[in-house]
Amino acid sequence: MRTSTSASRPRPRRATPGDPRAAQAGKPVATLREHVVEIISDSGEGAQRCGQSLGAIAAKMGNGIWTVEIIPAEIRPPARSVAGASGNRIRIGAERVTNGGDETDLVVAFNEQVLLGRVRGRHLKGGATILLESMWRTNKDAAVAASYAEAHDRLVGAGYRVIEVPMERECLKLVDDARKGKNMFTLGMLCSIYSLDLALAREQIAITFGKKAASVVASNVKLLDAGFAWAEANLDFKYRIPAAKPTIPKIVVNGNTALALGVLASGMQICAMYPITPATSASHYLSDVFEPLGGLVHQAEDEIAACAFAIGASYAGSCAVTITSGPGYSLKQEGIGLAVMGEIPLVVVNVQRGGPSTGQPTKVEQGDLLTAMFGSHGDAPKVVMAASSIEDCFYSVITARRIAETFNMVVVLLSDAGLATSQQPFPRPRVSEDWMAPPIDQSPLPPGAKPYDWDPATGIARRFIPGQANGMHTVTGLAHDKASHVAYDGDANEEGLRMRSRKLATLQRTLRPPPIFGKPSGDLLVVGWGGTQGAIEEAVAACNEEGLKVSSMHLRFLQPMAPGMKEAMQRFRKVITIEGTWSDHPGDDGITEDNRRYAPLALLLRSRYLVDVDCWTEVRGAPIRPGTIRRVIHDHMPAPAATRARKGGRS
Amino acid sequence: MTATLDSTQQSQIAFHLAGRLPDAERPQQPAAAACPALLAGRRELPALRYDFPVVLASGERFVRPLSAIIDEVIHAAGTELQDHGPLTHHLLRLEREIRSLLAAGEHGTLASVWDGAARLLVAGGDAEVEASLDRARRALKADGDLVDCDRSLPGAFAGRAWHVVQEAKSARLAADLRRLIIGLTNILGADRAQSRGGRSPERLRASLGQTYESVFDFDALSRVLSTQAHGGLAPPRRERIEGVLAVLRAQRFVHAPSDDDAHTPRGYGFEFTSCTDALTAYRERLPRARELARAVAVAELEVRGEYRDGVHDALFGASADDDFGRDTLALLPDYFVSVPMARVHGEETDSLMELLSAGVPAKVLVQADDLLEESTVARDGHFAVGMRARQLASMALGLADVFVMQAPASLLYQMREAVRRGMAFDGPALFSVFSGASGGTTLPPFLVAAAALESRAFPAFTFDPSAGPNWASRFDLSANPQTDRDWPSYEIAYEDDGHRLAREQVEFTFVDFVAADVRHASHLAPVKRAAWNDRMVPVHEYLRGTPDAGRIPFVSVVTDGDVLYRAVTDDRLVRAARRCREAWHSLQELGGIHNSHAERLLAREATAMAAAAAAAPTAVPATAPAAMPASAPAGEAAAPAAEERDPDLPYIETMRCTTCNECTQVNTKMFAYNENKQAYIKDPDAGTFAQLVEAAESCQVSIIHPGKPRNPGEPGLAELLKRAAPFA
Amino acid sequence: MNTATECLLRMVDEQHALEDYQGGVPRWCTGCGDNAILTAVQRLCRDENLHPEKTVFVSGIGCSSRFPHYMRTYGFHGIHGRALPLAEGVKMARPDLHVFVNTGDGDCCSIGAAHWIHAVRYNMNMTLMLHDNQVYGLTKKQASPTSPIGTRTNTSPRGSYLEALNPLTVTLGVQNVSFVAQVVDWIPELLFDVVKAAFHHKGFSFIRIIQRCPEWLPHMHEPWLHDPGRVLLLHHAKALQLSSGISMLYRTQLEHDPGDIHRAREVASGTDPIPVGILYRNPDVPCYEDTRHAGRLRTAAELRTGLEQEFDKYTVWPEDRVPAPADA
């Protein structure tokens, strides 16, 4: 084995003497607060499975974890292609981990090309450790061997600590097809490197391959042990990330699975959808488990039909959900308008992806806020919520269903590709039957009852459901009066608009001011929404340690917006939103304060509260990193002293 | 026939009349060993392949003969063999082995007995046998209780049939109950969700996720939503629903799995070994059953939202007629009673009759093992045998709406469908079965039962009230051999003393049946060929003629050594045979065979026709009227009957009106819509001729005919008439 | 469901009159064929004694789609082209409701064409009435997909440019089509018979109703209206039986077996004479709502159990062993 190192490599802290493992393994063990690990390969080589297993094992040991899938855009990109990296990225921490963290500390790469892709994408930390499959060096194809050697040397030159590992050779000692074996060999190596419990690893393999033959499990365990042994024998470093023994049961799922579980728990029985990335995996899981539990996933002929189908079901009494992503959401707009007009409860989940148009189907972005709020023509008030964590994906669906049916409104729930594909343990929910939709009300209505007999105080009218005697009426998308009769006169039209709008005000009155993370007043308030919460709060905490007077506020309801926000913002000298979408950067060519396009949330806060809210955005297709946010905070701290008198930050 | 009798003949006649023989004349062979000649060939049953033993399983094919299963296995196991020969041979041996094991008293499931038999066969150490048996065992799919045709068969067979039917029935009811319970629970649940209670801060907090605890002000939310709380079930309805729900949950007739299985009450049992017990249980449960029936009906209406207090309260109130739920009661499980004939007397008989006559949904199996028990009330010299079992069935026939089946056990497999029909019959059913295990003979029960059928001692029939409106469709005698004859007739072959093969036609009579039973040996005197004479006539012939002291009735029997004897029959036995034949005749009449009324009628018609023919030789035979009248098609009224209409009156071809509102807009008093919303002329005088013409012109489908002007004074008539012309 | 209760229900079922199904006063033009369809449907509801609260009429946008407003049942006047997916959602959630769809040639055959084809595939148990007047009415006379080529309209002042689409052959082209009929609004008796047959067919019943538009195409159908010989009546023992009145009036008749799809496609492609009657019927095509077990009963407890089982799949239990020295 060859180890090439460069001078500039940050040495891991030496293990404290008397560390049992150090004694036992006969080499120093460095204790770390956290580490970010990547396993990448051509797709089909099982790096995904290796990463998920590593995450699961760490979680079982009590480490905080956050795993993110690394997915190539194509299903089967050519082998050894720079854009073809497929695998997993696991952040392992001593405490709870709330986001994917910063650049990667250690990479296991099955070939140098996929690695180069990650390097160029600036995913690796300077001087990161790279465990690289060495078989290519001796490849029959001279070109391949050459490109390997060249890449290797360039990486070493760039200061990475590259360790060549003969994975192929080692695996072939145990199995005929090394391609199928490397991932578990790698898992073994990583268990050694991070001092993970090998017994747990064996269990994990049993679980992963449980459905397959015992022989399969056995051979994979052999590979695991081999990988572990190899690392023990050949690597001169070993880490340990302290873990708090887990005290409560937790479930480990990604955001889309959490959404699907939320649909189950909400008691909804119909999910209408049309295949689209990245939303679809939620429907995959749901299709698998829904029907035995009395529900069904209807794959409609198109997005519009999916939306209409859900509306029809809701109208008939069974509140339904339609799950989609950006382009599909645009297509549903007319249907959503109809549900708003007819006051038919409906849950629409939009797992955001890169836009506009087809954009970046597999990439992270939160650019659909404004279309979620203002999409559909005319004044079509609807509730907009955003899930801020994987756990929140689960509970948000339950809450969305509840709001939709109590206010007879459309509730749009925003998630994103990051949450959809990331895994993070959260406390196993204690099931409550109150989550579930009540049975369809078929009790007879009082004779002469009107379907839109709005309560002027709240704007809410009792929902009429087919089958209820005395309730016969025709729902219509046309302007209508209390009796749902088509009405073109100004009074009737305005009354309808007023009442549909009033429901948002009513809901707003039932919300609490959003909690402030950090001190309730200070120099800078960072406002965010959706999947960025973990990264923002991690950065804020770090900055507080540095002594910066910064706090953050994370919005769960975007429409209506919770009360007390203006007051909250005014307690800070400056307010900035951080969002994963596009906004003009002040200082860019031709961008002036006159023409600068603000980020959606900033735009909303500025217009609603007349507070001079600044914004910073990034649309690099990956979740915004806490490190990046720290930098942004530093850059945007208001200058000390001076304009203290003016409330609401600088102008 | 010669006038003088030799001594042998005298003693034979004496025996026939007095039933006694001079000791000197007694034959060496003990009659006990005798066997009716017709059955002689069949004594070695295990060697034969026939309907028994059977395997009783669950599901559609609840009973299958062992031989059928063996054949199936041969087919299944042999598919990939090029030569079935050995396999077939070995499996047939196995089948024989299984039969003899059962004959020797072995019992259990097919699998267990199979394995037992297989062990015996491979004990020989023949590897080939072992191979085929292993292969076969793997191919063996069917299993269940293996039952031979013996004392245990009727109970097991009928019990299984009942069980299969009940399973399906209970499943249906259980599903219905579950549906109704959920439906009612949902009504209450929906109401709770709408109520103030359902909108308390606590419930609201519980109804959202943990991550929303801090997001909502649940008191505020509760305040807002409480303004929306409404309705609530009217107390009487809530009371009614909760009451019905309680009944449905507490019912014990079927096992309906509920959310809290712990609290599902233990179900009733429905299998009994005495009619009295069954009747008692039925009586005790009747109130519960009625209550359940009522609850099901109410629940159904509630779940559909179609319960109308005004109308239904009366129907379901305490005072409601108890009989309304008869159909619902039919959904409940039936009772199964299996009782031996021997126990059917006194109270048990009364209970049986009440079960049947009161329309209790009970399926009663009465099993007779012995037809030849001497009647306790028999007058001296009266050979009263085999009566009670037969009487039972015939009595039940009289009850009209009872399913009745009488059959010897040997026929049960062939009559399996009838058995199942009887079990599924919506009402009481009686199964009177003769097992053949009388113990009075060395013959296997299967043969005894078969003999009882052949000899008309125990004919087979079914009476299925649900099969049709009249006896012809309800009553079925076809399971008996040669139903149009008094006794079935067969050819037997035997060796005469010259060791030549001889054949003769023999009829199987009641006497032949009795001849197999040692207890009645005293009524028969076997006679060697040497003593045969021309005064001897077979019983069936003897019975045909008038009693004649000069003739000596006999039946052919075979004793060990396969020697053919003629057993002279005493008069008491002959009389019993005659009674048996009469009973058979009345069954034939019920079954429409040699129906005396029909025959009399036929005779009268024949003579009448003859007479008529004689009177008018040239008379033409009447022919059936040709050309069926065409049945009037729907909407006959559509035919425009213009010819009957007064041409002066205006009219509309209403059937063709498309409700386009043109005419009604001209004049609503003159033109109106009928109950189908199609136009007609309501009052020709309610408007002007001009309006009629205008309407006719504007009618899209031109079906308005203005007729003639009603008011000659109307202005511009000439012009109008011109315009009206095209619509005349 | 047991017969005792059935007859009880029948005993007390309140009978309805035609007026009980009459909603708002129709705002269709005088002479419009929609009136005839409304009447036929109201007759059906009365004769079948449908419970108004358990009957839903779903429509899209257009003259025809005002239909639900004129019924006194539940109704859903939806958006242009989407009546079918809305109706499918209703039926899937509530198989116990009677669902009817009223749609026009623009609504169904143009903007809603995708849904139309797929509705035939789903074969859900509902009745679709295609009010086909061969023109856009509500938007004031534009060519529709079924306008005969050369039809002069505001978007085709020199006559429409394309061959008309034939809704019958298109529907019959779908593999698992289960009921297709055609009728004209000016023969109310057959209109009623066909609607009735469609209602009783279990599956997706497609009725194309050729309908007059006195406002925009007043003379289009006159030749057929005034010459009964140009209507081809389909009859069969397994389909419509013609009353003597009808037979006397419309002499052009054809005995057509609704089980014969190939013949059905031939007949369907004829436009003059206009075939009227049931072209195809196959009661054996499975209904999507049945295949998907719509309306399956479940209790909160069952759901809770299922949910817990799902959680079990992903749960990391605390009692898992604490990190021990790697045993390798």
Helix (H, G, I), strand (E, B) or coil at B461: strand
β-pair partners for C210: C132, C184
pLDDT value of position A213: 80
In chain B, the percentage of residues whose pLDDT exceeds 70 is 86
pLDDT value of position B196: 83
- Say which range, A198-212, B4-18, B330-344, B709-723, has the weakest mean pLDDT: B4-18
Instruction: Select the residue from B676, B694, B704 to test the C interface by mutation, using most C Cβ atoms within 10 A.
Output: B676
CB contact under 8 A, B217 and A435: no
* Closest chain A CA to residue B188: A439
Q: How are beta strands B403-408 and B335-340 bridged, if at all?
A: unpaired
Helix (H, G, I), strand (E, B) or coil at B183: helix
Task: Check CB contact of C38 with chain B, cutoff 8 Å.
Answer: yes
CB contact under 8 A, C89 and A228: no
Q: Using one digit for the tens of pLDDT, what is the confidence trace for B409-438? A: 999 999 999 999 999 998 999 999 999 888
If pLDDT is split at 50, 70 and 90, which confidence band does B313 have? confident
* Average pLDDT over every residue of B339-356: 90
* Closest chain A CA to residue C72: A472
CB contact under 8 A, C325 and A310: no
Task: Check CB contact of A439 with chain B, cutoff 8 Å.
Answer: yes
CB contact under 8 A, C12 and B656: no
CA distance B177 to chain A (A): 18
Q: Choose the closest CB to C297 out of B182, B637, B660.
A: B182
Q: What is the mean pLDDT of each run of 10 residues along chain A (651 residues)?
A: 44 41 66 96 90 91 91 81 90 95 96 92 93 95 95 95 95 89 95 94 87 86 96 95 89 95 97 96 94 94 98 97 97 98 98 95 95 95 97 97 96 97 94 93 93 95 96 97 95 97 97 97 98 97 97 98 97 98 95 96 97 96 95 93 48 39
Judge residue B141's burial from the number of C-beta atoms within 10 Å of its C-beta, 0-12 exposed, 13-18 middle, 19 or more buried: exposed
* Average pLDDT over every residue of B670-687: 92
The rounded distance, in Å, linking the Cα atoms of B424 and B169 is 9
CB contact under 8 A, B228 and A509: no
**Subunits with at least 3 CB pairs below 8 A relative to chain C?**
A, B
Q: Using one digit for the tens of pLDDT, what is the confidence trace for B110-137? A: 999 999 999 988 887 788 888 888 888 8
- pLDDT above 60: residue C7: no
CA distance C38 to chain B (A): 9
CA distance B169 to chain A (A): 25
**Subunits with at least 3 CB pairs below 8 A relative to chain B?**
A, C
Judge residue B353's burial from the number of C-beta atoms within 10 Å of its C-beta, 0-12 exposed, 13-18 middle, 19 or more buried: middle
**Subunits with at least 3 CB pairs below 8 A relative to chain A?**
B, C
pLDDT value of position B627: 40
Contacts of A312 in chain C (CB under 8 A): 58, 76, 85-93
Q: Choose the closest CB to A472 out of C52, C302, C322.
A: C52
Q: Choose the closest CB to B209 out of A394, A506, A562.
A: A394
Name, in order, each residue with C-beta under 8 angstroms of B722's C-beta and a sequence gap of 6 or more: none
Q: How are beta strands B524-527 and B563-569 bridged, if at all?
A: antiparallel
If pLDDT is split at 50, 70 and 90, which confidence band does B599 have? confident
Contact B4, B476 (CB under 8 A): no
Contacts of A432 in chain B (CB under 8 A): 206-207
Q: What is the distance between the terminal CA atoms of chain A, rounded to a whole angstrom?
A: 61
CB contact under 8 A, B190 and A556: no
B682 residue type, one letter? K
Phi first, then psi: what are they for A422, rounded to 5°? -95, 150
The rounded distance, in Å, linking the Cα atoms of A136 and A186 is 17
pLDDT value of position B343: 87
**CA-closest candidate to residue B44, choices B446, B436, B440, B435:** B446
Contacts of C318 in chain A (CB under 8 A): 245-249
Q: How are beta strands C274-281 and C179-184 bridged, if at all?
A: antiparallel
pLDDT value of position B526: 83
CB contact under 8 A, B327 and C2: yes
pLDDT value of position B309: 83
Interface of C with B in 184-223 (CB under 8 A): 185-189, 212, 214
CB contact under 8 A, B306 and C9: yes
The rounded distance, in Å, linking the Cα atoms of A637 and A640 is 8
CB contact under 8 A, C39 and B659: yes
pLDDT value of position C328: 34
Inter-axis angle of helices A142-157 and A112-120, nearest 10? 40
pLDDT value of position A650: 43
Task: Check CB contact of A467 with chain B, cutoff 8 Å.
Answer: yes
* Closest chain B CA to residue A506: B224
pLDDT value of position A299: 98
Interface of B with C in 638-677 (CB under 8 A): 638-640, 655-662, 665, 675-677
CB contact under 8 A, B327 and C4: yes
Task: Check CB contact of C225 with chain B, cutoff 8 Å.
Answer: yes
CB contact under 8 A, A436 and C310: no
CB contact under 8 A, C94 and A310: no
The rounded distance, in Å, linking the Cα atoms of B43 and A270 is 70
Q: Choose the closest CB to C299 out of B182, B331, B665.
A: B182
CB contact under 8 A, B297 and C2: yes
The conformation of residue B410, written as its DSSP 8-state character, comes to G
If pLDDT is split at 50, 70 and 90, which confidence band does B559 have? confident
CB contact under 8 A, C8 and B308: no
Contacts of A296 in chain C (CB under 8 A): 92, 292-294
Task: Check CB contact of B230 with chain A, cutoff 8 Å.
Answer: yes
Task: Check CB contact of B233 with chain A, cutoff 8 Å.
Answer: yes
Distances in Å between the Cα of C108 and the Cα atoms of A601, B114, C116, C142, C220 are 41, 67, 6, 15, 21
Give this prediction's pTM.
0.86
Instruction: Select the residue from B677, B680, B694, B698 to test the C interface by mutation, using most C Cβ atoms within 10 A.
Output: B677
* Average pLDDT over every residue of B534-542: 87
The rounded distance, in Å, linking the Cα atoms of A411 and A400 is 6
The conformation of residue A178, written as its DSSP 8-state character, comes to G
CA distance A407 to chain B (A): 9
In chain B, the percentage of residues whose pLDDT exceeds 90 is 36
Judge residue A139's burial from the number of C-beta atoms within 10 Å of its C-beta, 0-12 exposed, 13-18 middle, 19 or more buried: middle
If pLDDT is split at 50, 70 and 90, which confidence band does B382 have? low
- pLDDT above 80: residue B335: yes
Predicted-complex ipTM score = 0.88
Phi first, then psi: what are they for B559, rounded to 5°? -105, 170
Judge residue C179's burial from the number of C-beta atoms within 10 Å of its C-beta, 0-12 exposed, 13-18 middle, 19 or more buried: buried
CB contact under 8 A, A443 and B209: no
**CA-closest candidate to residue C118, choices C143, C83, C80, C77:** C83
Contacts of A192 in chain C (CB under 8 A): 326, 328
CB contact under 8 A, A509 and B198: no
Instruction: Select the residue from A197, A474, A480 to test the C interface by mutation, using most C Cβ atoms within 10 A.
Output: A474
Task: Check CB contact of A511 with chain B, cutoff 8 Å.
Answer: yes
Within a 13 Å sphere around the CA of C252, how many CA atoms are in the beta-carbon half? 13
Contact C97, A466 (CB under 8 A): yes
pLDDT value of position B633: 42
Q: Using one digit for the tens of pLDDT, what is the confidence trace for B11-56? A: 777 777 776 665 555 555 444 456 777 777 666 776 778 888 999 9
Residue C219 tokens, joined: 């003379």
The rounded distance, in Å, linking the Cα atoms of B389 and B449 is 13
Q: Choose the closest CB to B224 out of A427, A467, A506.
A: A506
Judge residue A451's burial from the number of C-beta atoms within 10 Å of its C-beta, 0-12 exposed, 13-18 middle, 19 or more buried: buried
pLDDT value of position B575: 86
Task: Check CB contact of A460 with chain B, cutoff 8 Å.
Answer: yes
Distances in Å between the Cα of C119 and the Cα atoms of B148, C103, C288 are 59, 13, 10
B233 residue type, one letter? L
